[in-house]
Structure formats: structure tokens, C-alpha cells
Chains A and B, each alone.
Chain A
């Protein structure tokens, strides 16, 4: 009885995927808001900084420690992240 009952109950996973995908499609049909753009820029800047640090940790750069090019790139990436944060208060207005 117990086994039969388990087989009959549908798994929630496919429905969750369908639900998530439909949400995604709905989201993708709407214009990007200033806040979403800001979030994107913030993550981009953050990713670039992490990437630069990773290069340093892996020893792929020409210099020991952070080289001048890395420092400049990290500075620009930091500015991009701050720019992204500054868009956050503008909320759902279209970008």
C-alpha cells in the first residue's frame, strides 16, 4: 500500500522547472529596470575584481603581487561596481 501510494504522488521537480522557466520567460519579456542593470554592473565589477585576484593567486601575471595593469583593471572594475550600486535606488524604472 505504502509503495503504491509513493508511485502515485507526482514528483514536484518537473513542475518546479516548468514554473521557473515560465517565470524566466516572463522576466525576459520585460525591459530591464535600472535596479537590474545596476545589479548586473555591480556583479560584473565584482567578478572582474575576483578575476584579477585569481590571476594573481594562480601566478599568471608578469609581476609578483598585483601588477600595474591589474591595479588599473581592478580600479575600473571597482568603479563599475560602484556605478551599479548607484543605480539601485532608481528602482523599477526602465533602463
Chain B
């Protein structure tokens, strides 16, 4: 067997001949010979441009010492607890009413950085960011193995980093993209392993064992990885059903034993907080909206990937990438769950980047392998060589996102015929609506609160809120963890987790409500009022708003006890 099973074709059998239209004579032919290279150069420039934008955003986030996305601080708290040898899966009924709802691996990986540098937001942001670079590298490697065209491999890898979704969340202190990294590595390795097995006629159990470890790592980074686990085992089943079953048994056993061990070690809090609390209401409109957005933004890579899956289904052989793409696209429906979002499509984006690279590679090889080399065949080659980079350019245009906070970036956006600013009213849940403000960030995903690099004003605002909390003696009852972490005080509860538990009748709020009623907290800080209704009720009765501070496009309400 050859690479035919892997990409749907055999690259080794290619009689690849470089296109050199100049040899055919005439300046027109010479232009056509240069045109593909020019377009490839432009496409590479566009995607390297997105890489630069991604770096700018990431560096600004590394410098920002507070929550940029609401859940970040709680992931830092999880890491902090692990660094102290404690589980973050705790009883929410008693002070500090805190528990995590995520598996541990991402936080455990960051623990050494927290030991070295303390509870800093940049630690997890850096690890997540590096994870996305590794994912892009793995995508490029997968395409390179299948096609051996460096520019196509580079474009496929960079397409992933250029996705609006990856840009928004890739450098946040969130575990999602770290899961995507493990998923991508596992899928790439299983593709390589099975290809080698079928080529060499022997098994490579150690490589498969590594695939299982990577899948386990993905699942214990975030629960959503189950779709990739299913995809890998379906692929193994299609190739050798008995082998798939024999690997599935120990894999299931180890996964289950780890689950039971953590549950035993946390007195059942693991099951309650990571499974029960994640049974959230499904919002069909949210799922539909996100599907539409995903498809619209990633139009080229999604359509090409879909067509290549159909080709493999009916003409070639289904690769693990095709099954992975289908599983991830279907699993996108889980983005309709309350609390979920666009990042749930990141796995589908990774799969579509690989499939697009392989599909184009297949097409280019097919065009080059055509014999005899008739004038029509030569033209076909040139047309395909022109269309492929053009499609990448079209994809680059659809993904457009760029901060325009510097004159240089603003000039680039203007030169590209894009808007240089948007006007967005700050989000507020506890004050009068505020007028729209100029935001130096444009995004084809629409009005987004993620993506705009935080600036000096945001840092000053965060410090101002922390200073207001510091006037009191106790930890603040705050919707963001960052302010208490900044002051070295306790982090009190995680509002979204508390709401999840409340909605599932899995938390007793008695002690918390009593503390709020007794004004045991000197300060309450609200951002979006995600707390359960009884908590908000008692807050309203016993506390009043004294200060409004705007940070990252949100109005934070600082409340003090009513006298």
C-alpha cells in the first residue's frame, strides 16, 4: 500500500513537472507562468499578515493583568489550586463557594509557570498561544506529507491561525485551543501510523499507543474532545475493525479509571462539577447563528473540505481527516449550549485546513500528472495553479480582522479597502446604557468583544477597580476573578458555574445568601450578572452601586453595602 489511502492519491507516483510557460514561448505565456507565483506570493503575504496581527494581539494580552474574557481568571484559580496540591473540584455550598467545571490537564501543565512567576494571566495565555502554533505546525506537516508543496503546507497551517475564532481565543487563558492541539496531533499521528502500517505491512503499536495518550490528553483538557475520539476510533474501525475494538477496550478502561479516581479523590465533586453542571439548556437559535457564521467566515476551506470528503467517500478512501471533519462539524451543534460559543468550531476549522491543503495538493498533482501534455492539459495546469492561490486570497478576505490602533495598521486596513473602526456601545448590565464608542478593531465576524487588544486605559481601569476593592478589608464578591487575584485575596465563587449548578438543582445557596445578607463582603463587582436569581436579589437588597468603571468594553458596577 502507498500514500493513496492517506490523501486519496499517491504522491510518490507523481511525475511532477514544474510549470514553465515561458518555455512555450511568447510574453503572454511568460506572464501566465509568473502569475501563479505572484498569486502564491500574495496569498502568503496575506496569511503572514494575519500571523503578525495574531502576534500583536497575543503580546498585548500577555501584558494585560486582568480578565479579558470572563472565564480566564477562574482557569487561573484552578491552576493556582493545582500548584498548591489541591483539587479545584470543590463543594460550592460553603465559602469560598468555588469549583472548576473543566478537566485538569491544561491547568496542570501551567503549574510550573505559576510556581516560578506567581498567578499571572500571561502564563496560561502563553501556553494556549504556543498550543495554537503547534497546531498550525501539525496542520502544515500533515499537508506537507500528503502533497510536498511547501507553500501549500504553509498556507494551510497559517489559515488555521488566521481563523477569526482561533484569533479571538487562541491567546486567552482558556483551555479550548490546548484541546484542539492534542486533537490535531492525535489525528495527524494516527494518519501517519496507519499510512506506515499499510505501506510496510506491519503494525506500529507504540505509535498507536501515543495516539491514545494524545486522545486521553485532549479529553482531560476539555470534555468536547469526545468527537475526535469517536472520529479516530471510527477510522480505525473502517480500516481494521478488530484492532479498533481491541484498542477501544483499554482506552475506555483507562479513561474510566482516571475519571473514577478523580471522583473518589474529590468526594464526588468532579462528577458534579464537570458533568452534571455542564448539562445546560440548548438554544437552537444560537447554534444556527454560529453554524451560519462559521460557514460564512470559512467558506472556501469548508466547501473544499466538504467536497474532498465526498470525493473520498465515493471515489477514494475515507481518510481520518475526512471523518474528523465530519465529526467536528456535526459536533458544532454543541455550540448551541448555553455558555458555549464560536470556539466550538475550532476543531472543524483545523480539520478543514488539512483537508483543503490535501485536496488542492491532490488537484495540482492530478493536473501535473496528465499525459500526454497537450496544449489543453498545459492550460488546465495553469488555470489550477492560478485558482488555488486565488481561493486562498478569497478565504483571507472573508476572514478579515485587524486591530487598527496604530497608524501603520490603520493604513493597511484603509489600503485594503476595509473599515478602520467600528462603533460599539459598552455592554452594561447595571447602569444606564452608554453611547457607542469608537473601537479601533474591525472583524468580519461582526461586532466582537474579543479581538481588540486591551490598552493602557483598560489596564488603568482594572487597577482602579482593584483599588476600590482594596479600600475594604475582605475579598470582593466579584464576577471576575482577576481583581481579587491582583490583591492576593480569596476568589469567591464562579458565577457561571454557580448558575449551571443552580439550574441543575445541584447547589445549596443558604450560606452564600446569608453572607451577602449580612454584608460579609465589603465590595461586590458585577459585569454581566451571571449569578443565579436569588443571589442577584439579595445583592440588590443589601448592596448599592457606588462606582462604574469601564474596562474592555464592559461597564463594571462596583457595589458597597447599603447603610
Nearest to B282 among chain A residues (CB) is: A69
Contact B317–A94 (Cβ < 8 Å) = yes
The residue from A25, A68, A86, A95 contacting B242, defined by CB atoms under 8 A apart: A25
Given A69-B284, A87-B313, A90-B314, residue A95 in contact with residue B238 (CB < 8 A): yes
CB-CB under 8 A from A25, the residues of chain B are 242
Select the stretch in A1-9, A26-34, A53-61 that faces chain B: A26-34
**A25 to B243 Cα, complex, angstroms:** 11
Q: How far is the CB of B172 from chain A (nearest CB, A)?
A: 32
Most interface-central of A27, A37, A86, A95 (chain B CB within 10 A): A95
Chain B: interface size category: 10 to 19
Which residues of B are interface residues toward A (Cβ below 8 A)? Answer: 237-242, 245, 284, 313-314, 317-318
Contact A28–B241 (Cβ < 8 Å) = yes
Contact B238–A29 (Cβ < 8 Å) = no
Nearest to B312 among chain A residues (CB) is: A95
**A86 to B237 Cα, complex, angstroms:** 21
Contact B314–A95 (Cβ < 8 Å) = no
Nearest to A93 among chain B residues (CB) is: B317
Contact A31–B238 (Cβ < 8 Å) = yes
**A72 to B239 Cα, complex, angstroms:** 32
15 chain-A/chain-B pairs, Cβ below 8 angstroms: A25-B242, A27-B241, A28-B241, A28-B242, A29-B241, A30-B241, A31-B239, A32-B237, A37-B238, A37-B318, A68-B284, A69-B284, A86-B314, A90-B314, A95-B318
Q: How far is the CB of B8 from chain A (nearest CB, A)?
A: 12
**A69 to B240 Cα, complex, angstroms:** 36
**A31 to B245 Cα, complex, angstroms:** 13
Q: How far is the CB of A94 from chain B (nearest CB, A)?
A: 6
**A27 to B314 Cα, complex, angstroms:** 22
**A32 to B243 Cα, complex, angstroms:** 12
Nearest to B242 among chain A residues (CB) is: A28
**A25 to B317 Cα, complex, angstroms:** 23
Which residues 67-90 in A have Cβ within 8 Å of B in the complex?
68-69, 86-87, 90
Q: How far is the CB of A44 from chain B (nearest CB, A)?
A: 11
**A28 to B239 Cα, complex, angstroms:** 10
Most interface-central of B237, B241, B245, B318 (chain A CB within 10 A): B241
Nearest to A95 among chain B residues (CB) is: B238
CB-CB under 8 A from A94, the residues of chain B are 238, 317
Contact B241–A32 (Cβ < 8 Å) = yes
Contact A29–B317 (Cβ < 8 Å) = no
Question: Chain A 45-56 against B: per-residue CB contact (8 Å), 1 yes, 0 no?
Answer: 000000000000
**A30 to B239 Cα, complex, angstroms:** 7
**A90 to B315 Cα, complex, angstroms:** 9
CB-CB under 8 A from A29, the residues of chain B are 240-242
Contact A31–B240 (Cβ < 8 Å) = yes
Most interface-central of A25, A27, A30, A32 (chain B CB within 10 A): A32
Q: How far is the CB of A38 from chain B (nearest CB, A)?
A: 10
Other 17 A-B pairs with CB < 8 A, given A32-B239, A68-B284, A86-B314 = A28-B241, A28-B242, A28-B245, A29-B241, A30-B241, A31-B238, A31-B240, A32-B237, A32-B238, A37-B238, A37-B318, A69-B284, A90-B314, A94-B238, A95-B238, A95-B317, A95-B318
CB-CB under 8 A from A68, the residues of chain B are 284
**A86 to B314 Cα, complex, angstroms:** 9
CB-CB under 8 A from B241, the residues of chain A are 27-30, 32
CB-CB under 8 A from A87, the residues of chain B are 313-314
CB-CB under 8 A from A27, the residues of chain B are 241
